Amino acid sequence: MKKTLSVQKNEEIEVVFEDLTHDGAGVAKVDGYPLFVKNGLPGEKARIKVIKANKNYGIGRLLELYERSPYRVDIPKEDAPKYGGCQLAHIRYDGQLMYKENQVRQALARIGKIEGARIHPMIGMDNPWHYRNKAQVPVGEKNGKLVAGFFKPRTHEILDADESVIQLPAVNEAVQVVKEICRELGIPAYDEEHHSGVLRHIMVRYGRKTGELMVVLITRTVELPHRKKLVDLVVSRLPQVKSIVHNINPKRTNVILGEKTKVLWGNEVIYDKIGDIKFAISAPSFYQVNPVQTKVLYEKALEYAELTGSETVIDAYCGIGTISLFLAQKARKVFGVEIVPEAIEDAKRNAALNGITNVEFEAGTAETVIPKWYEAGNKADVLVVDPPRKGCDEALLKTILEMKPQKVVYVSCNPATLARDLRFLETGGYRTVEVQPVDMFPHTTHVEVVTKLLFGM
Ligand code: SAH
């Protein structure tokens, strides 16, 4: 017998929101049937329209609020472009922290079945605005004019934005200047629908401690029209620029960078500092986007590693060697592995730059290189993982269970895969003892956590 749903499509109903999803939508329940409604906040009473009624859940649109949450923040409509990508900007910052911390607790309990770990309150920012050192702005055309800003949520339409409330002022300015120059020179924007046109993204990176700027122009075509003029104008209007790079991405894809990168002007890298360590950063390498919180995160990772100077440490997913070099100051030896070859080049350069000699870096996947090291007799006392959102490859987790480092420090940008991997490690004899969420991405739904596990406790 077909069960009738509690709600029908196009129906207008009154609901009370109970919770938030991991992407920040309000959750209301009608006879146990969950409805997800963008912009609804827990505790709020609202009238909504059901726009989709699937078998197990529905989607609604907020029509009218009857009761407001004390955590609600109103953003004037004309300011919306500045808040592009800020899915949580309608929630007061202390509410955001509460929500993200709760998400970590729920993932660890429900997915990870983790018990007895100390989950600390999330460390937020004193000033959670204008923190990003990097922008990656999609470029398109509207009514014959080049626009650049962000994708309208769930569409392929690009909305023009003059600034972003989460980017550092120097980054906002650089994006704006480059955009203006591209308009003046008439550089054709990329057209995603027809896979035609030229300029796909403008990317800007900024070393907050050094003031150095990198501008990356990402095109579909091998040719970048008006290249010379463009470089001259960027150099003259952005005195802090140290590197101008052209990246070619000919594919139909939503991955931003292509495989080919050419330096058009200046250096291949820019420099920045975290704590006392200086880093060279090239265009394709990963580098944390929130410099203030990165220091907090790395210091926590270092604290959890509890190094005395005699340990061998492995830093899987090491990027440009940031965590590796932090740890090397307190360890006997650090081995770092990372899939992007350019990042490994940066990591080696960074070790030399800081006179750190007790590190070794290898390009490859963590799941193949670490088992190889283990077979060759390189066993870690402390293993640090900082994987992308999909979490650790199971082959790596299995190697950890064979190698049995005393301590694992797990840095994660996705509580769900973190919880899954912690379960795997717990089943193999580890225990999660400390969990520290750090807000690296205020006003967005992204959540970062650093975790300490001990073997055989
Ligand atoms: N710890 C570094 C980088 C973390 S981001 C930092 O804090 O800066 C995750 C990194 O893992 C990225 O540099 C990415 O290129 C890399 N990566 C992704 N998949 C990988 C794999 N299978 N093996 C090793 N590295 C991988």
What pLDDT tens digit does each residue of the chain (457 aa) get?
Answer: 556 778 999 999 999 999 999 889 999 999 999 999 999 999 999 999 999 999 999 999 999 999 999 999 999 999 999 999 999 999 999 999 999 999 999 999 999 999 999 999 999 999 999 999 999 999 999 999 999 999 887 888 899 999 999 999 999 999 999 999 999 999 999 999 999 999 999 999 999 999 999 999 999 999 999 999 999 999 999 999 999 999 999 999 999 999 999 999 999 999 999 999 999 999 999 999 999 999 999 999 999 999 999 999 999 999 999 999 999 999 999 999 999 999 999 999 999 999 999 999 999 999 999 999 999 998 999 999 999 999 999 999 999 999 999 999 999 999 999 999 999 999 999 999 999 999 999 999 999 999 999 999 6
Return the DSSP state at 309. Answer: S
Strands 312-316 and 333-338: parallel
Coil, helix or strand at residue 367:
helix
175 in contact with ligand 1, CB cutoff 6 A: no
Cβ of 41 below 6 Å from ligand 1: no
The architecture that CATH gives domain 98-126+290-455 is 3-Layer(aba) Sandwich (3.40)
Start-to-end CA distance of the chain, whole Å, equals 52
Q: 338 a known binding residue?
A: yes
Q: Is 392 in the pocket of ligand 1 (CB under 6 A)?
A: no
State how beta strands 12-20 and 26-30 pair: antiparallel
Q: Is 14 annotated as a binding residue?
A: no
Is 436 flagged in the annotation as binding?
A: no
Indicate if ligand 1 lies below 6 Å from the C-beta of 448: no
Detail the DSSP E strand segments found in 269-365.
269-274, 277-282, 312-316, 333-338, 359-363
At a CB cut-off of 8 Å and minimum separation 6, what does 246 contact? 216, 217, 219, 224, 227, 261, 262, 263, 264
User: Which pLDDT score, from 0 to 100, does residue 5 have?
Assistant: 77
The residues near 52 (Cβ < 8 Å, ≥ 6 apart) are: 9, 58, 59
Distance of CA 348 to CAs 305, 441, 451, Å? 22, 28, 27
Residue 101: CB within 6 Å of ligand 1?
no
Given the candidates 2.40.50.1070, 3.40.640.10, 3.10.50.40, 3.40.630.10, the CATH classification of the domain at 134-274 is 2.40.50.1070
How far is the centre of ligand 1, averaged over its atoms, from the C-alpha of 93 (Å)?
A: 29
Q: Distance between CA atoms of 249 and 238, rounded to whole angstroms?
A: 25
CA distance 200 to 189: 6
> Cα separations (Å) of 124 from 132, 179, 318, 448?
15, 32, 24, 11
CATH fold match for the domains 12-67 and 134-274: yes
352 Cβ contact partners less than 8 Å away, ≥ 6 residues apart: none
Give me the numbers of helices (H) and strands (E) for the chain, helices first please. 9, 22
- Cβ atoms of residues 348 and 357 within 8 Å: no
The third-level CATH classification (topology) of the domain covering 12-67 is OB fold (Dihydrolipoamide Acetyltransferase, E2P) (2.40.50)
Q: How far is ligand 1, taken at its centre, from the CA of residue 48, in Å? A: 42
Asked if residue 317 has its Cβ within 6 Å of ligand 1, the reply is yes
How many angstroms is it from 222 CA to the middle of ligand 1? Answer: 28
Under 8 Å between Cβ of 281 and 342: no
3-class SS of residue 154: coil
Domain ranges, ordered by start, for the chain: 12-67, 98-126+290-455, 134-274
Q: What is the distance, to the nearest Å, from the Cα of residue 424 to the centroid of all Cα atoms in its chain?
A: 24
Task: Pinpoint the alpha helices (H) of 113-259.
Answer: 169-185, 227-237
Evaluate whether 38 touches 62 at the Cβ level (below 8 Å).
Answer: yes
Model pTM score: 0.93
State how far the Cα of 298 lies from the Cα of 225, in Å rounded to an integer.
42
**366 C-beta closer than 6 A to ligand 1:** yes
Length of the chain in residues, anyone? 457
CA of 365 to the centre of ligand 1 (A): 9
Structure tokens at 358: 């007790």
pLDDT of 457: 64
| Interatomic CA distance for residues 191 and 181, integer angstroms | 19
CA of 387 to the centre of ligand 1 (A): 5
Tokens of 417: 């895969």
pLDDT at position 2 is 56
Q: Is 99 annotated as a binding residue?
A: no
293 in contact with ligand 1, CB cutoff 6 A: no
Q: Rounded to whole angstroms, how far apart are CA atoms 364 and 337?
A: 6
CB neighbour class for 108 (10 Å; exposed up to 12, middle 13-18, buried from 19): buried
Substitution candidate for ligand 1 out of 205, 279, 286, 394 with most atoms within 8 A of CB: 286
The best mutation among 294, 317, 385 to test binding of ligand 1, ranked by most ligand atoms within 8 Å of the C-beta, falls on 317
Active site positions, annotated:
413
Per-residue CA distances from 257 to 138, 197, 398 (Å)? 12, 16, 32
Measuring CA to CA, how many Å separate 435 from each of 18, 104, 249, 294, 412?
26, 9, 39, 16, 11
* Atom 11, ligand 1: residue with shortest CA distance: 317
Residue 237 is predicted with a pLDDT of: 98
Output DSSP code: residue 386.
-
